[in-house]
């Protein structure tokens, strides 16, 4: 059976890119032919030798211009939509306009709950719906939408793990005597990075004798000018970023693996270019993630797998459930309403700063959070989603299709 996947390109480092790559790999191992309509991908992003096809959406003009050609060329038997509820509404209509009349399976995540009926109607129009979490599945069921199953994203503990040379990494980065707070989030409104900067400034005030640094794994300029905010809060000289120029939030940095330690030491305002994503997590003493809404944020389980304590927004829903007991949940100062009708949990900078100061000053608590986080991350293997991908499409396969291939025969 030929399965088309519509999502961020699996060649990108976004959360959707990562889940798409594992869904595609699971389907290929199950004997299916896979073609991804790679949103945000350029031809130059696609390496040779992938066991599935990636159709680059960025070819000039609108990113949807070649969608009808994609369907005519690939001729899929089923379309798997890996998308949040907001964008899924647009995508379902785009499929119709492009001439797609076959079955669509929705693997849906939520940027907060609840959502308005318009977005739920898009899910109702799909042949089958899967959720990323038990909480999301229960919500859909409560709204009268049959849910075929749920499967969260995962983390590879062989890739995301505590560094054996953490102190050497920190020394090479010029951070041997510093306490580093890491924020791994795009510079977008939902991620609320500005509140992280303000909360960090509060922690600096509360711990005057501590050399605190804030690593922001994002573009300095995006929804906010983070360098300007740092200066406004009096912590501009404590901020670090991925690179002085050329950093791309969608393409990120190398996830893991050894890098050259030959370049000069790091320090403000950037970490060494050779540092992988996992290196950058391991340099940190604590991770801070305060989006006002979201689903199973990838940084939750990746940071926990690396043994780094986590402070996270308490949305009293999917994000909080994903953190489990392996992090400090930060209550919202106020709860607003977003464009989907979802609750927006805004954490006050003072709450962030006090929580950071409390954790950084308590080694016993750090140890306990590391242990609990590691245990929580272990419950998120990628195999859960890869196996679920086969179940997502199996109802639409002809008898005998989808027979698993022998290991190593991809």
Q: How far apart are CA 175 and CA 121, in angstroms?
A: 51
Q: How far apart are CA 247 and CA 292, in angstroms?
A: 25
Q: How far apart are CA 300 and CA 310, in angstroms?
A: 7
Contact 276, 302 (CB under 8 A): no
Rg over alpha carbons for the chain, rounded to the nearest Å, is 21
Could you write out the DSSP letters of every residue in 175-191?
-TT-EEEEE---SSTTT
Give residue 254's pLDDT. 76
Q: What is the mean pLDDT of each run of 10 residues along the chain (410 residues)?
A: 97 94 97 97 92 95 95 97 96 96 97 96 98 98 98 97 93 94 97 98 97 96 96 97 76 73 58 92 98 97 98 97 97 96 98 98 97 98 98 85 35
**Three-class secondary structure of residue 42 per DSSP:** coil
In the block, residue with structure tokens 């102190």 = 167
Residue 399 class from Cβ within 10 Å (0-12 exposed, 13-18 middle, 19+ buried)? exposed
Give residue 256's pLDDT. 79
Nearest to 145 by CA among 102, 115, 112, 101: 115
Give residue 19's pLDDT. 97
Give residue 177's pLDDT. 93
Contact 350, 125 (CB under 8 A): no
Q: How far apart are CA 112 and CA 342, in angstroms?
A: 5
- CB within 8 Å of 77: residues ≥ 6 apart: 1, 2, 3, 102, 396, 397
Q: How far apart are CA 339 and CA 71, in angstroms?
A: 31
| Cis previous bond, 269, omega within 30 | yes
**Three-class secondary structure of residue 344 per DSSP:** strand
**Three-class secondary structure of residue 231 per DSSP:** helix
Contact 178, 215 (CB under 8 A): no
Give residue 261's pLDDT. 53
CB burial string 237-272: b at 16+ within 10 A, e below: ebbbbbeeeebebbbbbeeeeeeeeeeeebeebbbb
Give residue 259's pLDDT. 61
Please give the structure tokens belonging to residue 189. Answer: 């409104």
**Facing residues of 78 across strands?**
3
Q: How far apart are CA 115 and CA 119, in angstroms?
A: 7
């Amino acid at each position: 059976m030929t399965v088309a996947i519509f999502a961020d390109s699996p060649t990108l480092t976004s959360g959707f890119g990562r889940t798409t790559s594992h869904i595609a790999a699971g389907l290929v191992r199950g004997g299916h032919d896979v073609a991804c309509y790679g949103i945000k991908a350029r031809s130059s992003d696609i390496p040779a030798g992938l066991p599935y096809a990636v159709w680059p959406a960025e070819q000039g003009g609108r990113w949807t211009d070649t969608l009808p050609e994609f369907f005519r060329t690939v001729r899929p038997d089923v379309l798997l939509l890996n998308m949040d509820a907001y964008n899924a509404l647009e995508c379902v209509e785009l499929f119709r306009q492009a001439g797609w009349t076959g079955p669509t399976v929705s693997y849906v995540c939520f940027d907060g709950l609840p959502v308005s009926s318009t977005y739920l109607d898009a899910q109702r129009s799909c042949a089958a719906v899967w959720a990323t979490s038990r909480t999301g599945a229960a919500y859909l069921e409560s709204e009268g939408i049959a849910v075929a199953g749920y499967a969260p994203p995962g983390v590879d503990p062989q890739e995301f793990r505590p560094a054996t040379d953490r102190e050497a990494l920190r020394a090479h980065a010029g951070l041997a005597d510093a306490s580093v707070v890491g924020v791994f989030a795009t510079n977008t409104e939902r991620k609320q990075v500005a509140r992280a900067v303000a909360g960090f400034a509060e922690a600096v005030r509360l711990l005057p004798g501590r050399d605190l640094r804030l690593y922001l794994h994002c573009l300095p300029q995006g929804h906010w000018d983070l360098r300007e905010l740092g200066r406004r809060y009096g912590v501009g000289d404590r901020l670090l970023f991925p690179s002085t120029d050329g950093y791309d939030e969608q393409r990120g940095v190398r996830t893991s693996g050894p890098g050259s330690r030959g370049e000069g030491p790091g320090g403000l305002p950037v970490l060494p270019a050779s540092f992988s994503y996992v290196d950058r997590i391991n340099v940190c003493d604590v991770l801070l993630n305060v989006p006002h809404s979201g689903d199973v944020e990838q940084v939750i389980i990746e940071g926990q797998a690396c043994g780094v304590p986590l402070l996270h927004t308490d949305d009293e829903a999917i994000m909080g459930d994903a953190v489990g007991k392996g992090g400090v949940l930060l209550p919202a100062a106020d709860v607003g309403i977003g464009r989907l009708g979802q609750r927006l949990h805004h954490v006050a900078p003072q709450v962030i700063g006090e929580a950071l100061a409390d954790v950084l000053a308590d080694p016993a608590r750090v140890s306990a959070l590391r242990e609990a986080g590691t245990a929580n991350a272990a419950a998120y293997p990628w195999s859960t989603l890869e196996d679920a991908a086969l179940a997502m499409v199996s109802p639409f396969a002809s008898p005998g299709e989808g027979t698993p291939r022998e290991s190593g025969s991809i």
